[in-house]
Every structure is written in structure tokens, then in C-alpha cells.
Structure 1
Amino acid sequence: MQEAGRDDKSAGVRLTGLFQFTVRLLTETEARFTSVERINHYVKCLESEAPRQSPESDGPAPSWPQQGKITFQNVEMRYRNNLPLVLKNLSFTILPEETIGIVGRTGSGKSSLGVALFRLAELAGGSIIIDGVQIAQIGLDDLRSKLSIIPQEPVLFIGTIRTNLDPWDQFSDSQIWEALEKTHIKEMVSQLPHSLYSEVTENGENFSVGERQLLCVARALLRNSKILILDEATAAIDTETDRLIQETIRREFGSCTTLIIAHRLNTVMSCSRVMVLENGQILEFDSPSALLADENSRFRAMIEASENQSR
């Protein structure tokens, strides 16, 4: 009787373990099939972007844009159908070689301006014109190859420093070294074991955030685009690296039309004009001095609030 009881107990333990393993196997299988469902959705349901190349007759001139004038005409944008508008009837003109600071609270539509310029999401209404060319009527490669962006989170890829700075092998080593020198990072790269051909790990984890950001500035400098967007490029770095980046931008990108999406308000004080956004609309758009002189200005209130916080 005792042996039979022990056998029943042992069988019960084995059955419980088998049941647990079966449930675990079913859960893992279901989780893996989520990936299959997503791939199936991407293949069958996801809409493709616009054509990457323009027809030869409709493409912009190779030298476009020569001036860098940007005009928004009644621009409206949402990220997906049936979602609220993130940009609402925006109309403004940015003159060639102007430096525009874009400020506002989280969700005001600052980064969405960059999304609209790069056509990462198509407009729901209105148009964007750069040097007389409506960007919705040209290919994505024709557009994006002419714009440069220095993102908030610096992006580096697995490979070498050289392939990160010049992935299409368009520039000479001397041009790359010149760009690194202008961004104050030449000495750091030259001290690496293989200099330009030193390894870059995934996401550039073998470099500090500041070094990654400076490499992104060097990449933008090499492209020599007429329009540059800084999407809170100094939000996650120290004050000294911030100063180096701001110095490089003022010196090397002076002939560019520059849009600075600002996290630190002091970075826009030297801009030609400042645009204050709220809920996808423009509240104010004037020079920093004019906005600070206005007692009712939202920009002035933001500056005063930041000064009070720093005390």
C-alpha cells in the first residue's frame, strides 16, 4: 500500500511538471506567432512610401536647393488616418540662411515639422515648398538627400567610423579628416588604433553620447546640405559638448537655412527668429529680442520660468 501511494504521488508530480511544460510551450508558441502576424501585416497591409525617385521630367535640378527658402502653406499633418491633427493650418516662410529656433511644450508639434519636411508622414492638407519646388511632387531620395538632420539621439551603425560618416564612399579621407577637425573630434579619432577604420559597435556603444553626437555633426557637415534640422540635438549631452556643437553650427553652417528644435532655451537666443508652437499651431514668430520685449509674450514667460527653476 505504501509503495502504491508513493507511485501515485510520483506520477502526480510528473503529470504536474508535464502540464507546466505544456502551458509554457503553448505560451512561447503564441508569443512567436505574434511576430508572424506582424510580418504578415507588414507584407499585406502596410502602405508603401511614395516613389523614391522622380520621373526624369519632374525631378528637381541637381543643384536644388540653391537658396534654402522654405514655405509652409496651410500645412496640416496627422500620423495616421483617423488620428487628430498634429500640425494645424501652418503658414509661414523661412528666408534663405535664416536660423529659426522652434520651441514649445512636449506635444506642441516641434518634431512634427521635421517629420513633415522629410515626408516621413504625408500631409493631410496644404503644401511645403523649398526654393520653388513642392516637395510632395518629387521622389523621396531626391528630397531627403538634400536635407540634413542632427537628431536628439545620435545614430551610428555597425561598421567603421568612415562608413558611418560616408556610407556611399563619396568623399576622400582628407575631406573626412577636415570635417572631424571642424567638429573638434579629430584628435579623439586619430588616437584610436585604426583611426578612421576603427570599429563602431551596435548603436555606437563604444563611444560616449557626446562623441556620437559630434560624429553626427561631422556627417551632416560632409553632406553640405542647404537645409539643416537640429532636433533637440544637445538635450542629452553635457554643457561643454553643447558649446562645441553650437560653435560648429554657427561657424560651419552659417550659409545654411537652419531649424533648431530647442530643448534648452538659451540655444535659440542667437537665432534670427523664434517660433513658439502650441497644439500644432504658431503662437508667436519673431526675433528673440522682440519677443522678450513683449510683456505678454509666451516666449518671455518660458524664459522667466526656466530662470526661476535654475535658481
Structure 2
Amino acid sequence: MASDLTAKQLSYAYDGKLALAPINFNVPYPSKVAIVGDSGAGKSTLLNILSGKLRAYRGSVQIGTKELNQLPLAVLQSQVLYIDQLPYVFNETVRYNLTLGDNFTDQEIWHALAESDLDAYVRLLPDKLDNLAGENGRLFSGGQRQRLALARGLLRDRKILLIDEGTSSLNRASAIAVEDQFLSLKGVSVLFVTHQLHSENKDRFDQIIQLHSPAEQH
């Protein structure tokens, strides 16, 4: 189901209050898209719609020809990966944090780590894949936790990555490095919510979706 994403007059309201003003967009597969807008413009609301967390939207948003809220959640989640600002890391092995109990070969795991630019770091750990990640994932920096979450998704062949303020807690150099990794991925669409477009990477996005606060629509 590697397909385009298309929205027509897509909006969302909480308790009658508009949280996402009507928007239209088309994201051809595969694309790299930045989603920008002031606080309260609905950036996270949009990602929550696209990830299937919010189903009662207005208007239309389709993956290919399928209306998103008509797709079974399991089908949607088999294609879409949502990465929040601070991905959860279990106090388990690196291997478990990637497989989450599913069966993958070491070759598949290392390939996902390589695509996420995390393989060199893991190979330096004393027990490599079987090294404990530590309480709250203390073995990994903020940027590395983003890459770990990315590897989880790539391991499961997710085709659409939704990244919510993925670099907001990182310094500039680390933020740009993480963005570089997302932007370099082949065969996936990436929708990247950010409060700050870095000049180094701005021109690498295929398109920029600008959201406006619902209050500005009146």
C-alpha cells in the first residue's frame, strides 16, 4: 500500500472548537514533506489524524484510493509509523527495543540500524545487540532514540513516517544530523513536523505544508 496521501478540506474539531483549519494537499509517494506553522496551528493534530489516532475528522484524507478512517487500524499501522518527540526505550536489550518481541534475523536488524545510521554506535557496545539500553534508554542520546524508533519502523517496512517535532530537544548540529538521516531515506514518505526549518535542509524537502491557526481563518 505504498501510495500517495491526499487531503481535501481536511479539518478537525475538539468539542466543537476547530483545532485544524481545512487544508488540502497531495503528497506523492515517496516524498519528503515539512509541516510548519505556529503553535496551535494543528501540526500534531494532523499527524494524529494521519496515524489513525483521530478518526472523526471532517473532509477527506486518502492513502491511495482508500479513505483513511475506513481502513482497519491494523492495516494503517502496518504502513504508517508515528515517531513522537521522545520515543520510548525499554530497559531491555537493544535487540528487544528493535524487535519488540517479533522475529527478525540479525541481518535484518543490522540492516535497519545501518539505514538509521545507528549501526556503528551499537557495534561499539560491549554486548552489541544484546546490550541493555538502560533505564529510560539512558544509553542513547535524544538523537539516537529518534534513530532507534526509525529503525523499528524500517524493520517492519513502514512506508510512511510521521515525525512530530523530532529534533526539538536536540542542539542544532544533532538536529541537522537527524534530519539528514530522515531526508536520505529511500522508498519512504516522510512527513516531518518542525517548529524550525534549518536552512541547510530546507531545499531538500519536496514540499512544505504551511498550517495556519484556526483563529486566523476568521
What TM-score results when the alignment is normalised by the length of structure 2? 0.87
Is the Cα–Cα contact under 8 Å of residues 20 and 42 in structure 2 kept in the other structure? Answer: yes
Q: How does 1:53-72 map to 2 (within 5 A)?
A: 65-66=1-2, 68-72=3-7
Is the Cα–Cα contact under 8 Å of residues 127 and 136 in structure 1 kept in the other structure? Answer: no
- How far 1:280 moved relative to its partner? 4.3
* Aligned match for 1:162, one of 91, 95, 98: 95
* Aligned match for 1:232, one of 157, 165, 189: 165
- In structure 2, distance between residues paired with 1:195 and 1:124: 44
Q: Is 1:171 paired with 2:104?
A: yes
- How far 1:259 moved relative to its partner? 1.0
- How far 1:112 moved relative to its partner? 0.9
- How far 1:135 moved relative to its partner? 1.7
Q: Which amino acid aligns with 1:141?
A: A
* Aligned match for 2:207, one of 273, 277, 287: 273
Q: Which amino acid aligns with 1:236?
A: S
Higher relative contact order (CA 8 A, sep 6+): 2
- How far 1:150 moved relative to its partner? 2.7
* Aligned match for 1:263, one of 192, 195, 203: 195
Using the aligned pairs only, state the percent identity.
Answer: 30
- In structure 2, distance between residues paired with 1:161 and 1:105: 36
Q: Is 1:208 paired with 2:130?
A: no
* Aligned match for 2:79, one of 146, 151, 157: 146
Q: Which amino acid aligns with 2:213?
A: N
- In structure 2, distance between residues paired with 1:103 and 1:169: 35
Report the aligned-residue RMSD: 2.3
Structure 1 residue ranges (4+ consecutive) displaced by more than 3 angstroms after TM superposition: 280-283
Q: How does 1:82-93 map to 2 (within 5 A)?
A: 82-93=15-26
- How far 1:262 moved relative to its partner? 1.5
Is the Cα–Cα contact under 8 Å of residues 21 and 212 in structure 2 kept in the other structure? Answer: no
Q: Any idea what the Cα deviations from partners look like across 1:91-135, whole Å, max 9, x if unmatched?
A: 322222222211111111111111011221222422221011112
* Aligned match for 2:58, one of 125, 147, 158: 125
| Counterpart for residue 103 of structure 1 | 36
Is the Cα–Cα contact under 8 Å of residues 32 and 183 in structure 2 kept in the other structure? Answer: no
Secondary structure at the aligned position of 1:271 is classed as: coil
Q: Which amino acid aligns with 2:193?
A: I
Distance of aligned partners of 1:238 and 1:93 in 2 relative to their CA distance in 1, 3 Å threshold: same
- In structure 1, distance between residues paired with 2:160 and 2:215: 22
Q: Any idea what the Cα deviations from partners look like across 1:259-289, whole Å, max 9, x if unmatched?
A: 1111221243321111111114999xxxxxx
Structure 2 stretches of 5 or more lacking a match?
Answer: none
More helix by share: 1
| Matched residue count | 215
Distance of aligned partners of 1:76 and 1:183 in 2 relative to their CA distance in 1, 3 Å threshold: closer
What TM-score results when the alignment is normalised by the length of structure 1? 0.63
Q: Any idea what the Cα deviations from partners look like across 1:62-84, whole Å, max 9, x if unmatched?
A: xxx13x211112222134xx241
| Counterpart for residue 296 of structure 1 | none
